[in-house]
A = this chain, B = another copy of it.
Amino acid sequence: MYTKSIHYDVIDVNLAMRKMTKDECLDDLKHRILSTDLAPGSDLDETALAEHYGISRTPMREVLHRLAGAGYISSTENRGSKVASMDIGTMRTFFQTAPMIYANIASLAAEARTGPQLEDLKAAQRAFTNATAANDAQAAALANHHFHAVIGQMAHNPYLVASLGRLLIDHTRLSQRFYRPASEEEERRIEKAGEQHDAMISAIEAYEAPLALDLSLQHWDLSRDRMERYVRPDPLPVDVVSLKDHRNAV
* A positions within 8 Å CB-CB of B: 58, 61-62, 65-66, 68-71, 89-90, 93-94, 96-98, 100-101, 104, 156-160, 162-163, 165-167
* Bound Cα distance from A70 to B65, whole angstroms: 11
Q: Which residues of chain B are near A89, meaning CB under 8 Å?
A: 156
* Bound Cα distance from A68 to B66, whole angstroms: 9
Would B162 and A158 count as touching, CB distance under 8 A?
no
Would A159 and B94 count as touching, CB distance under 8 A?
yes
* Bound Cα distance from A249 to B222, whole angstroms: 74
Q: Which residues of chain B are near A156, meaning CB under 8 Å?
A: 89, 93
For residue A181, give the distance in angstroms from its CB to the closest CB of chain B: 29
* Bound Cα distance from A238 to B12, whole angstroms: 76
Which of B69, B93, B97 is the one whose CB lies under 8 Å from A69?
B69
Q: Which residues of chain B are near A158, meaning CB under 8 Å?
A: 71, 90, 93, 166
Question: Quick one: closest B residue to A22, CB to CB?
Answer: B77
* Bound Cα distance from A62 to B58, whole angstroms: 10
Known: A65-B66, A100-B104. 14 other contacts (CB 8 A): A58-B58, A61-B62, A62-B62, A71-B158, A90-B158, A93-B157, A93-B159, A96-B157, A97-B157, A97-B159, A97-B160, A158-B166, A160-B163, A163-B163
For this chain, the copies found in one complex come to: 2
What are 29 A-B contacts with C-beta separation under 8 Å?
A: A58-B58, A62-B62, A62-B65, A65-B65, A65-B66, A65-B69, A66-B69, A69-B69, A69-B70, A71-B158, A71-B162, A89-B156, A90-B158, A93-B157, A93-B159, A94-B159, A96-B157, A97-B157, A97-B160, A98-B159, A100-B104, A101-B159, A158-B166, A159-B163, A159-B166, A162-B162, A162-B163, A162-B165, A162-B166
Q: Which residues of chain B are near A61, meaning CB under 8 Å?
A: 62
Q: Which residues of chain B are near A96, meaning CB under 8 Å?
A: 157
Would A68 and B71 count as touching, CB distance under 8 A?
no
Q: Which residues of chain B are near A97, meaning CB under 8 Å?
A: 157, 159-160
Question: Quick one: closest B residue to A84, CB to CB?
Answer: B158
Q: Which residues of chain B are near A160, meaning CB under 8 Å?
A: 97, 163
* Bound Cα distance from A203 to B98, whole angstroms: 26
> Shortest 6 CB-CB distances between A and B: which pairs?
A69-B69, A162-B162, A163-B163, A97-B159, A65-B65, A159-B163
For residue A167, give the distance in angstroms from its CB to the closest CB of chain B: 5
* Bound Cα distance from A160 to B97, whole angstroms: 8
